[in-house]
């Protein structure tokens, strides 16, 4: 029920109440919210009022509507400013998300030509290879493939990144941390295997970010990142 004596209009009260329920996990990401008819009954308001509240929630990114299916809670877009060096994990924490990763594969492999060129090492030189799904809360945001010269992280073991980020593990175990990087971004269509891992449809448009990270003047990581552009946006500040 709405408060007829509130300074807020009826539709604003409905909107704010639904936002409150999303923020407090009454309606979780991916959940379908009640139908228009059900919401009319809950708040004792007209369908016009409900439609206006839902339209605002959709434009603000809280829900998405599917024809014939209803309204579903969506994850708010994450925006990354590219005007400075950033750690993916640290940025998610600043935004109030709980970042974590799932390791898909880990091995020591010989560098191919692309890795060697990116890292300024010889073809065939040993690199640490990590393939991980990166999450914000329970939502998959990226699929990362990281390549690190083994000579920079000797005796690296995957247990080092249990419960911490890769950069945190490097700093803890090797005494340095990447401090600047170069990135290139392009739009691609995701292949079937990567789509399955990320939970999206094959050929979905997605962002590919190639990143080389440095510690001072030494290249220490080549990262090949697929980004779910529905929830993660890159932003540039131009002056």
pLDDT tens across 160-180, in order?
998 888 999 999 999 999 999
Q: Tell whether 101 and 150 lie within a shared domain.
A: yes
Q: Tell me the chain's radius of gyration from C-alpha atoms.
A: 22
Q: Among residues of the chain, what percentage have pLDDT more than 90?
A: 54
Residue 83 pLDDT > 70: no
pTM value surpassing 0.85 = no
Q: Tell whether 89 and 173 lie within a shared domain.
A: yes
pLDDT tens across 214-239, in order?
999 999 999 999 988 777 666 665 55
pLDDT tens across 100-136, in order?
889 999 999 999 999 999 999 999 999 999 999 998 8
- For residue 190, the domain's CATH number is 3.40.1410.10
Residue 96 pLDDT > 80: no
- For residue 33, the domain's CATH number is 1.10.10.10
Residue 67 pLDDT > 90: no
Q: Which residue has the tokens 């060697």?
A: 116
What are the two backbone dihedrals, phi and then psi, of residue 108, each rounded to the nearest 5 degrees?
A: -105, 125
Task: Indicate the pLDDT class of residue 78, thresholds 50, 70 and 90.
Answer: low
**DSSP H helical ranges for the chain:** 10-23, 36-43, 47-59, 88-94, 113-119, 166-174, 192-198
Distance CA 94, CA 47 (A): 38
């Amino acid at each position: 029920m709405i408060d007829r004596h509130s300074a807020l209009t009826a539709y604003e009260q409905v909107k704010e109440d639904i936002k409150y329920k999303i923020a407090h996990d009454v309606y979780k990401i991916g959940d379908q919210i009640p139908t228009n008819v059900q919401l009319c009954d809950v708040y004792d308001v007209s369908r016009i009022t409900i439609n206006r509240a839902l339209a605002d929630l959709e434009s603000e990114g809280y829900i998405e509507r599917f024809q014939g299916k209803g309204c579903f809670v969506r994850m708010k877009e994450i925006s990354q400013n590219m005007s400075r060096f950033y750690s993916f994990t640290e940025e998610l924490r600043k935004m109030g998300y709980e970042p974590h990763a799932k390791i898909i594969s880990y091995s020591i492999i010989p560098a191919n030509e692309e890795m060697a060129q990116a890292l300024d090492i010889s073809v065939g030189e040993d690199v640490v290879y990590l393939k991980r799904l990166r999450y914000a809360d329970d939502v998959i945001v990226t699929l990362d493939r990281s390549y690190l010269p083994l000579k920079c992280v000797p005796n690296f073991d995957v247990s080092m990144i249990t419960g911490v980020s890769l950069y945190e593990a490097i700093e803890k175990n090797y005494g340095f941390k990447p401090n600047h990087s170069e990135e290139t971004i392009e739009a691609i269509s995701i292949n079937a295997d990567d789509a399955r891992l990320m939970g999206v449809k094959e050929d979905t448009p997605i962002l590919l970010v190639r990143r080389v990270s440095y510690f001072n003047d030494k290249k220490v990581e080549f990262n090949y990142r697929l980004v779910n552009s529905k929830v993660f946006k890159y932003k540039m500040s131009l002056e």
